[in-house]
């Protein structure tokens, strides 16, 4: 599975290791492990997960031991049960121990996002609605977190502020109303579709009359969403957003909206439990 366009793997690995190593490096491993010692390790999932970031985890080990032997047994986007061996590694023990935390932190975080995303996708299966992520990401990790959401089955909403025109409530407030905000957006001639956030049924027709090409229905309960779907009657795509949980998303999807955006899948996903278990490899290098 290809990593996201624009993501510099070497730079990410370098910066992450530098953060962990500090100026003095892994002083514990240097003090307790002979330089020539070798280990074999198995990376295991300790709960059911959807994998995301396995290639990045590999890169941490290779960065510190270019001769390391890695046998990767799973792919990003793959659902695996608890107890699955994800990777086998043989190499220099010091390098492996030094890289372990950075590799696991990244893989646990991204697989956590993919796994939670998969739960939301499963919850709306068969409804026709599509799950979207949002810009609610950890600063500096957006490319990776949105990649992980894709591995879990979501579609990416806009990546940056410059690749989607979304008029939100504060834009509407400053502009003086939904229609005026849309009018100004059309006059800007960005070439991008104009999406408008509405939180009341009475905003829908003014937004459409002004030229909105997609509506974001914000914090509307299912009965109101059904009214909005009936009113719009397929004229533009509809996206529901705001306070969506695993317990509510099915009912939202069944109203007939086209998309549901969920910030929780990147903002609140817990890391999954993945471990690296060591055993001595025969011989010493």
Same domain, 161 and 79: no
Which CATH number covers residue 187? Answer: 3.20.20.70
Confirm whether 104 is domain-assigned. yes
32/109 same-domain check: yes
| pTM, to two decimals | 0.94
Sheet of strand 274-280, all strands in order from the earlier edge strand to the far edge: 69-72, 85-92, 38-45, 274-280
Q: What domain range is 180 assigned to?
A: 155-261
146 is a catalytic site residue:
no
Same domain, 274 and 249: no
Q: Which of 26, 65, 218, 258 is catalytic?
A: 218
Q: Point out the catalytic residue in the list 79, 101, 186, 226.
A: 101
Active site residue 218: yes
- Do both 98 and 193 map to the same domain? no
Domain count across the chain: 2
pLDDT tens, the chain, 285 aa long: 678 889 999 999 999 999 999 999 999 999 999 999 999 999 999 999 999 999 999 999 999 999 999 999 999 999 999 999 999 999 999 999 999 999 999 999 999 999 999 999 999 999 999 999 999 999 999 999 999 999 999 999 999 999 989 999 999 999 999 999 999 999 999 999 999 999 999 999 999 999 999 999 999 999 999 999 999 999 999 999 999 999 999 999 999 999 999 999 999 999 999 999 987 555 544
Give domain status of residue 236, yes or no.
yes
Q: What CATH number does the domain containing 46 carry? A: 3.90.1170.20
Q: Do 46 and 99 share a domain, yes or no?
A: yes
From 76, 133, 145, 197, the catalytic residue:
197
Residues 144, 210: Cα–Cα separation, whole Å: 36
Does residue 205 sit in the same domain as residue 103? Answer: no
Position 51 in a domain: yes
Q: What is the maximum alpha-carbon separation in the chain?
A: 76
46 and 79 share a domain? yes
| 136 falls within a domain | no
Considering the domain architecture, whether residues 100 and 165 belong to the same structural domain is answered as no
Does 29 reside within a domain?
yes
Contacts of 147 (CB under 8 A, 6+ apart): 3, 4, 7, 52, 110
Q: Which of 62, 79, 88, 136 is catalytic?
A: 136
Tell me, yes or no, if 69 is annotated catalytic: no
Marked catalytic residue, from 15, 46, 168, 284: 168
């Amino acid at each position: 599975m290809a990593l996201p366009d624009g993501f510099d793997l070497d730079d990410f690995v370098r910066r992450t290791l530098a953060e962990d190593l500090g100026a003095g490096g892994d002083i514990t491993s240097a003090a307790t492990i002979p330089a020539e010692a070798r280990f074999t390790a198995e990376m295991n999932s300790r709960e059911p997960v959807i994998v995301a970031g396995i290639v990045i985890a590999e890169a941490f080990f290779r960065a510190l031991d270019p001769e390391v032997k890695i046998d990767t047994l799973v792919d990003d986007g793959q659902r695996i049960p608890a107890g699955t061996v994800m990777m086998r590694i043989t190499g220099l023990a010091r390098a492996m121990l030094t890289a372990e935390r950075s590799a696991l932190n990244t893989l646990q975080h991204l697989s956590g996002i993919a796994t939670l995303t998969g739960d939301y996708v499963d919850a709306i299966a068969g409804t026709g609605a599509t799950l979207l992520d949002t810009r609610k990401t950890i600063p500096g990790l957006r490319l990776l977190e949105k990649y992980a959401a894709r591995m879990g089955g979501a579609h990416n909403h806009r990546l940056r502020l410059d690749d989607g025109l979304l008029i939100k409530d504060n834009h509407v407030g400053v502009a003086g109303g939904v229609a005026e905000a849309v009018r100004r957006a059309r006059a800007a001639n960005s070439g991008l579709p104009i999406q408008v956030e509405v939180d009341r049924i009475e905003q829908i027709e003014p937004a459409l009359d002004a030229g909105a090409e997609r509506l974001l229905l914000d914090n509307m309960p299912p009965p109101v969403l059904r009214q909005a779907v009936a009113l719009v009657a397929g004229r533009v795509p509809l996206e529901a957003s705001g306070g969506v949980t695993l317990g509510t998303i099915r009912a939202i999807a069944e109203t007939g909206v086209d998309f549901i955006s969920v910030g929780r899948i990147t903002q609140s996903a817990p890391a999954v439990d993945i471990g690296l278990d060591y055993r001595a490899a025969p011989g010493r290098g």
